[in-house]
């Protein structure tokens, strides 16, 4: 059996078991989605969003990329954010990274000439490292340095969310969503909270959006 064929067999078994125990499960699930959470996570295969928080299908709207970033010029992540906030009306946006992240490790290394696109993506994390280089370099092991940059990156991504017009407009109009920064431990499976920004949190004035003057 080929690896992809096993996935198809497992899917069929899962669907049949669901119907056996809950005959209306898929009919109800297909009606609409009303998730309370947008989850911005890392693409790492060891950190599946729904599984690590024991959530059911329909509870979490998920976006994942290398090192759980929110890059202002990335239309993919920005459109996910807009849809989640403005259409699905989520109450919470969670950025969840994880310790021992391969993307963070790569960002702490020299750029590989054969990974041109990956380099462009990781340059944003290198910028975070540069801003906190003095603190990170006081740590005595590579593991500690990587894990501290993991935390700093998560915190930075939460602030980047608050810098978007999407979030600022939702805060002003509807007093939502709450922004969260979490980090997941691969060695113990436990999530730690790093930062929470409720609606109305202070934003540096250079990132604030203002309405144009009346004509």
Dist. CA 82–CA 134, nearest whole Å: 36
Contact 70, 48 (CB under 8 A): no
Helices (H), ranges, the chain:
3-21, 25-29, 49-52, 75-82, 102-107, 116-131, 133-136, 142-162, 165-174
Among residues 63, 96, 98, 124, which one is catalytic? 98
Contact 164, 170 (CB under 8 A): no
46 is catalytic: yes
176 is catalytic: no
96 is catalytic: no
Among residues 21, 27, 32, 44, which one is catalytic? 44
Among residues 21, 27, 32, 46, which one is catalytic? 46
Dist. CA 76–CA 154, nearest whole Å: 19
Among residues 21, 27, 32, 42, which one is catalytic? 42
Q: 3-state class of 106 per DSSP? A: helix
Among residues 63, 101, 159, 160, which one is catalytic? 101
Q: Which H/E stretch holds residue 94?
A: strand 92-98
Nearby residues of 205 by Cβ (< 8 Å), 6 or more positions away: none
Active site residues: 42, 44, 46, 98, 101
């Amino acid at each position: 059996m080929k690896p992809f064929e096993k996935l198809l067999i497992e899917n069929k078994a899962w669907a049949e078991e669901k119907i056996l125990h809950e005959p209306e499960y898929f009919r109800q699930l297909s009606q609409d989605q009303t998730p309370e959470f947008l989850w911005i996570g890392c693409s790492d295969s060891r950190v599946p969003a729904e599984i690590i928080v024991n959530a059911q299908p329909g509870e979490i709207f998920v976006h994942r990329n290398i090192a759980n970033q929110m890059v202002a010029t990335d239309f993919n992540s920005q459109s996910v954010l807009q849809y989640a906030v403005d259409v699905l009306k989520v109450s919470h946006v969670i950025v969840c990274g994880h310790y021992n992240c391969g993307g963070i490790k790569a960002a702490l290394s020299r750029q590989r000439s054969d990974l041109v696109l990956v380099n462009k993506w990781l340059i944003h994390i290198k910028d975070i490292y540069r801003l906190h280089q003095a603190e990170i370099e006081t740590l005595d092991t590579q593991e500690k340095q990587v894990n501290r940059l993991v935390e700093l990156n998560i915190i930075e991504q939460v602030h980047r969310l608050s810098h978007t017009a999407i979030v600022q407009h939702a805060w002003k109009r509807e007093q939502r969503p709450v922004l969260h920064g979490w980090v997941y431990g691969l060695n113990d499976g436990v999530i730690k909270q790093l930062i929470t920004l409720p609606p109305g949190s202070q934003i540096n004035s250079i990132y604030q959006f203002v309405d144009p003057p009346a004509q």
